[in-house]
Amino acid sequence: MTTTAEPDTTVEPAIRRLFTDPSVAANPYPTYRFLRENAPVHRSAFGHWVLSRYEDVEAVLRSPAVGKNVEAFIAGQGVRDWRSHESFTRMLDHLIWMNPPRHTRLRRLLASGFTPRAIQAFQPRIEERVGVLLEPLRDQREIDLLDVFAFPLPVAVIGTLLGVPQQDWPQFRRLVRDVTLCVEPSPSAEQLATADGAAHELNAYFDELIARRRRHPQDDLITHLVNVEIDGDRIAAGELTSLIQFLFGAGFETTTNLFGNGMLALLRHPGQLTLLRNHPDLIPGAVEELLRYDPSVQLTMRTALEDLPVGDHAIPRGDSIVLLLGAANHDPARYDNPDQLNVTRTEIHPLSFGGGIHFCLGAALGRLEGQCGFRALLSAFSDIELAGEPSWKSNLTLHGLLNLPLRVTSA
């Protein structure tokens, strides 16, 4: 096995554009194809190894020889004084950045509120909320799907589950969007200031809400997490705010993008949209295909805890690894015609929820929301078409639309 010593100058511009050019972030798939074909395992000038093949990405996600290193990630962002930024320091207590044994302990406590039975029991409340959102749209001809459905539904679901008061839901679209600016490659001083302000607001909000639940328990997930105890272990007060804040943000941002990215994909493949409308029994599999085709989370990072063989390379211990989930989901070695949306595709195992010990805790909830939401949208509207060209966020890490203008006809 060999280790790449010098960056491949034909590949570096593609990687640089991928991480810095908003137009590439809006449609990264041609760049992913180039990387898979020319440098599927590549040590970039950014100092990270970049992996783009399904086999390699899946293996690293599952490997016990990798872990999370939040300080290495932040260093890769080029932020030297990161401890002075609240948007970064809050990440130290986010489950997604933890390693065992702390990760094992806290995930076990959090998972007690996300059992399959608990998620399935929540389906009637999801369907009820879907109905509430769709009813006032029946007399409208043009809508922005993100404003009227793709954002309000997931925030209502996770807000209800956690126990966040309904009157507070609207503010979280801005706050979560702003705080996640810090995870984009090389954030600017202006982006960091915006992220820090949002982090401060979120911390203060959830500190106060947790304090209220301690005084006045309710039938919600926050109350459950305040009180849950397994084998004498409980979530410490200092851990709870960051964990709940993370659950809330993760609970709607990715699902919002599932509806936005997914509906746009269906509209650009009208035959698939018609097939799904005529055969709603295909919706569970179609949601998996939409998660594969244009996922919200395009990449994740790991750190090698020991020398790690990947393909013909050896990634040295301590090096950072960027796993391009979106590229892996489009690998022709794993999927036939991967750039074609196919709602009848079988044997779909998208890496959109990650893998290994960090597999998304809320994956089942996100899938259920997607199934309920798409089923209801296709039932409510006999015709859906684009009413204008949508705009994309400039983010690659969390890949999604700013708007999705639609022209609709009620069924």
CATH number at residue 154: 1.10.630.10
Start-to-end Cα distance in the chain: 60
Q: Is 3 a domain residue?
A: no
Expressed as residue numbers, the domain containing 264 is: 12-410
Task: Render pLDDT for 38-53 as a digit per residue (tens, 0 to 9).
Answer: 999 999 988 899 999 9
- Residue 357 token pair: 């010990």
336 occurs within a structural domain = yes
Predicted confidence at residue 89, as pLDDT, reads 87
297 lies in a domain? yes
User: Which residues of the chain are under the pLDDT cut of 70?
Assistant: 1-9
CA atoms within 13 A on the CB side of 153: 34
Tell me whether residue 6 is in a domain: no
What local confidence, expressed as pLDDT, does residue 79 receive? 81
- DSSP-based three-state secondary structure for 297: strand
- Mind spelling out the 3-state secondary structure of 330-374? CCCCCCCCCCCCCCCCCCCCCCCCCCHHHCCCCHHHHHHHHHHHH
CA distances from 105 to 97, 231, 291 (A): 14, 11, 29
The β-bridge partners of 297 are: 398
Q: Which amino acid is at 309?
A: P
Q: What are all long-range contacts of 4-13, with beta carbons under 8 Å and residues at least 24 apart? A: 4/41, 4/42, 4/43, 4/313, 7/42, 7/43, 7/44, 7/45, 8/38, 8/39, 8/42, 10/38, 11/35, 11/38, 11/39, 11/42, 11/44, 12/44, 12/45
Report the pLDDT value the prediction gives residue 9, as an integer from 0 to 100.
Answer: 55
CA gap 312, 203 in Å, rounded: 45
In a domain, 7, yes or no: no
Domain count, the chain: 1
Contact partners, residue 231, CB within 8 Å, separation at least 6: none
Domain assignment of residue 5, yes or no? no
pLDDT number for residue 6:
44
Tokens of 225: 């997490």
* Residue 135 domain flag: yes
Structural tokens at position 210: 């947790």
Contacts with 122 (C-beta within 8 Å, 6 or more apart), sequence order = 157, 161, 365, 368
Distance (Å, whole) CA 120 – CA 117: 5
